[in-house]
Structure 1
């Protein structure tokens, strides 16, 4: 039995994909997303020029990730968010509180 392998065709997209940006892990900006049927506070975990990947956990404890138009997303302070990620880098969001609590030795 003889098997002949042929190289798989190379797929090249006709248009280039948009560049996706990410914030450092656990330092993602908080955002408020407002669409027709969706109004949530969450974190912007990734974004392009036209869309934002919003992450949040609902009242039932289910995690959600949804790409939404950037025009429907507004950055907000962590303290204004109805939902807060329990694994945030606290020092990143409150640098002055950390400095105030540091004792000089």
Structure 2
């Protein structure tokens, strides 16, 4: 089966744009393990996830999201959420950046 050479340049340009957009997209950041301090302050596991609104650090600042708190300690909360593209995420954030919905 032959290839369609007529549109090859357009397809290549579109793929290059998509790759560039993916690299420019902000990435979610989780607190480092040393800040969470889970080894000395053991996190409490939620019996059922708690609906929360949280400020999550990203490479370009912070963003507020709707999430579910799944565990926490005196310093931080681990939240989980699904983004607009259907991808699942999980991050540790400071306790003060989370509010119950």
TM-score normalised by length of structure 2: 0.54
1:62 corresponding residue in structure 2: 87
Cα shift readout 1:48-100 (whole Å, capped 9, x = no counterpart):
11100010000101100000000000011xxxxxxxxxxxxxxxxxxxxxxxx
CA apart distance, 1:34: 2.0
Moved over 2 A (4+): none
Write 1 or 2 for the structure with the bigger share of strand.
Answer: 2
Structure 1: stretches of 5+ with no match in the other structure: 1-14, 77-105
Write 1 or 2 for the structure with the bigger share of helix.
Answer: 2
Aligned-pair Cα RMSD in Å: 1.7
Q: Which has the larger radius of gyration?
A: 1
Cα shift readout 1:3-43 (whole Å, capped 9, x = no counterpart):
xxxxxxxxxxxx9521210112xx21101002541210110
Structure 2: stretches of 5+ with no match in the other structure: 1-36
1:46 corresponding residue in structure 2: 71
Count of residue correspondences: 60
